[in-house]
Amino acid sequence: MGAPTLVSWSSGKDSAWTLHRLRGDPEIQVEGLFTTVNEDVGRVAMHAVHLEIPRAQAEAAGVALEGIPIPARCTNEEYESAMRAFVEKSRRRGITRMAFGDLFLEEIRRYRERNLTGTGMTPIFPLWGLSTDRLAREMVAGGLAARVVCVDPRQLSRDFVGREFDAAFLAELPSGVDPCGERGEFHTCVTGGPIFRNPVPVSLGEVVERDGFVFADLFL
């Protein structure tokens, strides 16, 4: 039996590939997923995806999902308070590790490590340091299916929102845009792949611009 582990779940490709890799690691036992939820609108805080979609993803992956409610205009103090309570509760039920899909942003990794120091919970980063070009192509070749649900129009044309994350998408990305969108150029929502027992069918809704970002709404 491996170490009891929770996976940070944004609904996107990096979370999904983290779960995929961990399932092949005999030292890890994935006990569930967790995500922060905008409690005012019932959407995943990171990608603004309706909560029903990550719930369907978790069901298709055969794991439990826990939503951590946070306010719409969440301060850093409110976020950290909610996460501390979740970590404490998870530790009491025997969880010893939390896995994150971060790729190369040192500041974010240090932030996670700092916040888990002294909690008895060890942060792990299964995708850390991998070539993002190779990783993106590995995901596509491995059968991962995903939609682009958000783009930062300062870094990538809004024409990319709503598209499939596939070989054609990667081939058309401008130079300077990370193939995994690690600098916030784009975010995805996973709809299929090796972690799922069945696809998560979604339909594309309205495309809107909000808070300086362009979002494509998805519905089950």
Answer whether residue 46 shows pLDDT above 80: no
Query: Whole-angstrom Cα distance, residue 41 to residue 29?
Result: 32
Tokens of residue 1, six digits: 């039996």
Answer whether residue 55 shows pLDDT above 80: yes
Mean pLDDT of 137-152: 97
pLDDT for the residue 13? 98
Query: Whole-angstrom Cα distance, residue 86 to residue 67?
Result: 10
Q: Provide the pLDDT confidence category of residue 29 given band limits of 50, 70 and 90.
A: very high
Answer whether residue 48 shows pLDDT above 90: no
Q: Provide the pLDDT confidence category of residue 42 given band limits of 50, 70 and 90.
A: confident
Answer whether residue 40 shows pLDDT above 90: no
Tokens of residue 94, six digits: 């025997």
Tokens of residue 149, six digits: 């649900």
Mean pLDDT of 192-212: 94
Q: Provide the pLDDT confidence category of residue 204 given band limits of 50, 70 and 90.
A: very high
Answer whether residue 197 shows pLDDT above 90: yes
Query: Whole-angstrom Cα distance, residue 205 to residue 73?
Result: 24
Greatest pairwise CA separation for the chain in angstroms:
47
Mode of pairing for the β-strands spanning 145-151 and 65-70: unpaired
pLDDT for the residue 145? 98
**Residue carrying the six token digits 């040192």:** 106
Residue 99 has phi, psi (to 5 degrees) of -105, 140
pLDDT for the residue 49? 93
Answer whether residue 16 shows pLDDT above 90: yes
**81-133 pLDDT tens trace:** 999 999 999 999 999 999 999 999 999 999 999 999 999 999 999 999 999 99
All structural domains of the chain, each given as residue ranges with its CATH number in brackets, are 3-124 (3.40.50.620), 132-219 (no CATH)
**Average pLDDT value for the chain:** 96
pLDDT for the residue 72? 83
Answer whether residue 1 shows pLDDT above 90: no
Angle of helix 106-116 relative to helix 76-92, nearest 10 degrees?
50
